[in-house]
A and B are shown apart, each in its own frame.
Chain A
Amino acid sequence: MSAKQKQTEEELLNEVTSSEYKYGFTTDIESDTIPKGLSEEVVRIISAKKNEPEWMLDYRLKAYKAWLEMEEPEWANIKYTKPNYQEIIYYSAPKQKPVLDSLDDLDPEMKKMFDKLGISIDEQNKLANVAVDIVMDSVSVATSFKETLAEKGIIFCPISDAIQEHPELVKKYLGTVVPARDNFFSALNSAVFSDGSFCYIPKGVKCPMELSTYFRINEAGTGQFERTLLIADEGSQVSYLEGCTAPMRDENQLHAAVVELIAMDDADIKYSTVQNWYPGNAEGVGGVFNFVTKRGICYKNAKISWTQVETGSAITWKYPSCILKGDNSIGEFFSVAVTNNFQQADTGTKMIHLGKNTKSTIIAKGISAGNSNGNYRGLVRITKGATNSRNFSQCDSLLMGDKCGSHTFPYIEVKNNSSKVEHEATTSKIGEDQIFYCNQRGIGTEEAIALIVNGYCKDVLSQLPMEFAVEAKKLLEISLEGSVG
């Protein structure tokens, strides 16, 4: 390698590590917060603020008691100072809660923020044909297209509204896929979650538009604990998008969400996430701790597809999973996880095959740059009764720079002899010959890398809905523009 080439490489590397987080602004919106700390009292206050029925309070208190007995998991390959759970504010809501029918009345500050984020809750949405539910700090602030959806019988609203308006549905399904005792963070979430999205697609209905939730942490010192419950009844179809950003702050903010998907017989759910929480600065100060539990259950012939593009968060601990309970059900997981600077990601999926002829596909692409560490951790479990089931997993990692790390921890458990499981993983860097090939044909090193990375992630990006694919591509470019070859 020539000295000059080396120099450009170094320049490029610096550029990557200095790429700024563009969503790091804060918005001055008056908010209603409760004192920091967690106790039974706080759980009761949250429940009271939401005017929740008795059963919901019981659910929370049970979860809180379970949480007290649990220990924070340490098995993941990540290093961080454990958050002090008594220093976190568990409830923060923008004081002015806009009414959906009159978006013009929206707080101008909030409107400005949405514009900055590139989400418009009115006109543009009509063009883009996306219904959005926006969750800021702990509370859902706006949901669009509620009425259009209602005509089809689709319920799409903040989960706190759903608890009031559709208690029978919430009561029936909440905690059935991710029980409160499932893990430390799900227990915490179950105790203190303040809002999130609820969605119900009735039998045989194909949702006419993409549903979307946009999460934003705004207030300092708060944790965000949202809860998403998505139920696709028999034969229905839905595509759901999720995006998230947070301001730049020197402290670590905690985000512990729970997402539950239920795909009844013949239903089809596609869940896409572009996760862009604040990753901390180039020295690794600040950033969001993203400890999320996502899981879906598939009944007969149902399908759940998780697609995620992970570029943000100081620490990611996230394993979107599928329980393939019904015969012939399908689970899919497509992921691109980019880590830069001092970010750490421990992410992957679990595919639990219970039904016959169940199929799962896992495509995980990791890209590590700077001083970061990326981990793929996945489980494929074929139980005794899962005859003729099939799994294919591929996890590839791309390393950029000599200080980053990339790790793969797949667990494969097979108890059925008519099933086929294939797993492959590779770790490498962008080949000098590939770059050379592009250079030779007049493509600059930086473009060549963009080209190669894009090609590398194509399998996953092509799974994203249009609107998101564009955003994801842009995000990748920002995170990695110009890297070593």
Chain B
Amino acid sequence: MGLIENIKSFSIIENLSAEKNGLFQSFLANGFPTIKQEDWKYTSLKKIVANDFSVEGNGVTVSEEDIKKYSLGLQHKIVFCGGNLISKPSIDGVSISAFSEFESQNKDAISVLNSSLAKKGFTIKIAKNTVVENPIEILFFTSTKQDNFVQYRNNIDVGENSQIKFVERIQNLSDSKCFVNHFTQINIRKNAKVEYNKIQDNNENAILIDNMNLYQQQDSSVIVNTLIFGGAFTRNNLNFEQNGSNCDSNMNGISILDNNQFADNHTFMDHKQPHCRSNEMYKGIYLGDSKGVFNGKIMVRPDAQKIDAFQSNNNLLLSENATIDSKPQLEIYADDVKCSHGCTIGQLDDDALFYMRSRGIREKEAKAVLTYAFASEAVNNFTIAEVKKLAQKRIAEKLHVDLDFNL
């Protein structure tokens, strides 16, 4: 049986409310998106959803070693096991609890499915004027014998003038396939500062669709860093909405893929108010038979004047069978703006390689150094030292070199 049938039988057991059932029916009407839809043109779910996933399987335990292995060792940790909150830190001004209902505006099939059926995840509220110095690590562990489909639904509310940083990781501990439909909504109030790091370094049986909505109020500033190293299939939908003036939105992405990995970054930057800025930088490195997709859209609404928006997507194709499809878009309805995007696809510079080799550096190392240099523009934007270190370590591992890039 395919995933959709399994979800249907799951929904019957769940006894949905009329409202939720309405949402669910609207999902069923069209099912999972297909490549005929513009937003999924290069990303096919067909093979994935044909799998016989069980829905919301549970009953896993996670050992201290596992937590240690996959954590960055930060002071504050929120740990989920099979979608259940098993440990959380206590921080002044920050309330952390398990899933609670909230509405979202997303109309796409995947988000609708999430809002109709998801019942796991976290709710975090940060009170006004709270500055949390140490980043909070959020770990989701899944481990089931059967192939499993799970949905998490998270909500963060950051109060006025507050500052906070998160590092998130979803980890599959078993050898069976795990398909996670992850949805996170963050409200950022006036003059708040938020940084969110997504470490997507799951095992080769992991499938992830990650939807994140960020709603920014006046004077707020947000950074979202997306690091894709692992997972078989990753799709990120990152949607920024600026609802006040003088907002800053920053996105940094780095993907380094090999074997048959697939990663798709969809970003949508919606400038609704004047005097805002956005800066987006995605770097992709493709090895083996990997495939990358980038779709970045910058929208400037009428009257959102004095916008300064920049987007860049640079890709390195380092193997014969790697491919990339990129679609940077600008949609501008205001005239007094400065918007630009740049996209490059290419290889390492032969001259630079020759220079290094003529000085006795072996080819593999020379290539690794150049590749790291390519990625470093994004890596250097990571403010949390542990995240930066992890990126450096994983890049070296993926390129099969034993180098410490931390110069």
Where the two chains meet, the residues of A that have a C-beta atom closer than 8 Å to any C-beta of B are 75, 397, 399-429, 484
Bound: A417/B320 CA distance, A: 5
Tell me which of A407, A412, A415, A426 contacts B343 (CB under 8 A): A412
The list of the 5 closest CB pairs from A to B, nearest first, reads A417-B317, A399-B335, A426-B340, A421-B345, A423-B343
Given contacts A425-B340, A426-B339, contact A405 B331 (CB under 8 A): yes
Check if A402 sits within 8 Å of B327, measured CB to CB.
no
Hey, which chain A residues are within 8 Å of B320, CB to CB? Answer: 417
- A75: chain B residues at CB < 8 Å are 38
Task: Please tell me which one of the listed residues B38, B326, B330, B345 contacts residue A419 in the complex, with CB atoms under 8 A apart.
Answer: B345
A406 and B322 contacting across the interface, CB-CB below 8 Å: no
List B contacts of A423 (CB < 8 A).
Answer: 326, 328, 341-344
Complex CA distance for A198 and B78, rounded to whole angstroms: 72
- Identify which of A410, A413, A419, A426 contacts B329 (C-beta below 8 A): A410
B175 interface residue (CB < 8 Å to A)? no
The answer to the question of B81 belonging to the interface, with a C-beta cut-off of 8 Å to chain A, is: no
Residues of B close to A400: CB separation below 8 A: 335
Cβ contact within 8 Å between B335 and A429: yes
| B347 within 8 Å of A (CB atoms) | yes
- 15 further A-B pairs in the complex, CB-CB below 8 A; given A423-B326, A429-B336: A402-B335, A404-B333, A407-B330, A408-B331, A413-B323, A413-B324, A415-B323, A417-B319, A421-B344, A421-B346, A422-B345, A422-B346, A424-B343, A429-B335, A429-B337
CA gap between A484 and B336 in the complex, in Å: 11
Does the CB pair A420–B347 fall under 8 Å?
yes
Say whether A412 contacts B346, CB under 8 Å. no
B317 touches A414 (CB 8 A): yes
Main secondary structure of the interface of B (DSSP, over half): strand
Contact A420 B345 (CB under 8 A): yes
What is the interface residue range for chain B against chain A? 35 or more
Judge whether A407 and B318 touch: CB under 8 Å.
no
**What are 20 A-B pairs with beta-carbon distances under 8 A?**
A403-B302, A405-B331, A406-B332, A407-B331, A408-B329, A408-B330, A417-B318, A417-B322, A420-B344, A420-B346, A422-B343, A423-B326, A423-B342, A424-B342, A424-B343, A426-B339, A427-B332, A427-B338, A428-B339, A429-B335
Give the one of B302, B319, B333, B335 with max A CB within 10 A: B335
Task: Tell me whether A402 and B329 are in contact (CB under 8 A).
Answer: no
The distance in angstroms between the C-alpha atoms of A177 and B259, with both chains bound, is 37
List the B residue with the shortest CB-CB distance to A373. Answer: B333
Any A CB within 8 A of the CB of B49 = no
CA distance A164 to B343 in the complex (A): 49
B334 within 8 A of A: yes
Task: Give the shortest distance, in Å, between A347 (CB) and chain B (any CB).
Answer: 15
User: Is B252 an interface position by the 8 A CB rule?
Assistant: no
Contact A399 B332 (CB under 8 A): yes
Is B39 engaged at the interface, CB distance under 8 Å to the other chain?
Answer: no
Chief secondary structure at chain A's binding surface: strand
Contact of B341 among A401, A424, A484 (CB under 8 A): A424
Any A CB within 8 A of the CB of B5? no
- Smallest beta-carbon distance A372→chain B, Å: 11
Q: In the assembly, what is the distance between CA of A401 and CA of B322, in Å?
A: 44
* Nearest chain A residue, comparing its CB with the CB of B323: A415
Q: Which residue of A lies closest to B335 (CB)?
A: A399
B108 in the interface, Cβ–Cβ < 8 Å?
A: no
CB-CB under 8 A for A408 and B335, given A414-B317, A415-B323, A418-B347: no
Name B311's closest neighbour in chain A (CB-CB): A425
Query: B343, A406: Cβ atoms under 8 Å?
Result: no
Interchain nearest-CB distance for B205 vs A (Å): 26
List residues of chain B with CB within 8 A of the CB of A408: 328-331, 341
Closest residue of chain A to B294 (Cβ to Cβ) is A412
B314, closest chain A residue (CB): A422
CB distance from A324 to the nearest CB of B (A): 17
Closest chain B CB from A204 CB (angstroms): 37
Closest CB-CB distance, A288 to chain B, in whole Å? 25
In the bound complex, CA of A167 to CA of B327 (Å): 43
Q: Which residue of A lies closest to B286 (CB)?
A: A417
Q: Do B336 and A402 have beta carbons less than 8 Å apart?
A: yes
Q: Looking across the interface, which residue of chain A has its beta carbon closest to that of B312? A: A424
B163 at interface (Cβ–Cβ under 8 A)?
Answer: no
Write the nearest CB–CB distance from B284 to chain A, whole angstroms: 11
Q: How far is the CB of A344 from chain B (nearest CB, A)?
A: 13
Q: Which of B315, B322, B329 has the most CB of A within 10 A?
A: B329
Residues of A within 8 A of B318 (CB): 417
Asked if B323 contacts A397 (CB within 8 A), the reply is no
**Residues of chain A within 8 A of B325, CB atoms compared:** 411-414
User: A72 → chain B, closest Cβ, in Å?
Assistant: 17
A423 to B330, CA, bound (A): 13
A402/B302 in contact, CB under 8 A = yes
Q: Which residue from chain A places its CB closest to the CB of B333 in the assembled complex?
A: A405
B303 on interface, CB distance cutoff 8 Å: yes
Whether the pair B330, A425 counts as a contact (CB closer than 8 A) is: yes
Contact bitstring B276-315, A, C-beta under 8 A = 1, else 0: 0000000000000000000000000011010000000001
Query: Shortest beta-carbon distance, B353 to chain A, in Å?
Result: 14
Do B345 and A414 touch across chains, with their CB atoms under 8 A apart?
yes
Interface centre among B42, B334, B344, B345 (most CB of A within 10 A): B345
Known interface pairs A413-B325, A415-B323, A420-B347. Does A405 touch B340 (Cβ–Cβ under 8 Å)? no
Q: Is the CB of B317 within 8 A of A412?
A: no
In the bound assembly, the distance between CA atoms of A75 and B37 in angstroms comes to 11
> Which one of A406, A407, A410, A417 lies within 8 Å of B327 (CB-CB)?
A410
B115-170 with Cβ < 8 A to chain A: none
Closest chain A CB from B9 CB (angstroms): 36
A404: chain B residues within 8 A (beta carbon): 333, 335
Shortest distance from the beta carbon of A338 to any chain B beta carbon, whole Å: 15
Taking the nearest CB of chain B, how far is it from the CB of A415, in angstroms? 5
Shortest Cβ distance from B294 into chain A, in angstroms?
9
Which chain A residues border B326 with CB–CB below 8 Å? 411-414, 423
A423 to B328, CA, bound (A): 9
- How far does the alpha carbon of A402 sit from the alpha carbon of B345 in the complex, in Å? 34
In the complex, chain B residues whose CB is within 8 Å of the CB of A422: 342-346
**A428 vs B330: C-alpha distance when bound (angstroms):** 11
Q: Separation in Å of the B173 CB from the closest CB of chain A?
A: 35
Give Cα A426–Cα B332 distance, bound, in whole angstroms.
Answer: 11
Shortest B403–chain A CB gap in Å is 23
In the complex, chain A residues whose CB is within 8 Å of the CB of B328: 408, 410, 423, 425
| B322: chain A residues within 8 A (beta carbon) | 417
CB–CB B327/A411 < 8 A: yes
Chain B residues with Cβ under 8 A from A402's Cβ? 302-303, 305, 334-336
Q: Which residues of chain B from 169 to 201 have any CB-CB distance to chain A below 8 Å in the complex?
A: none
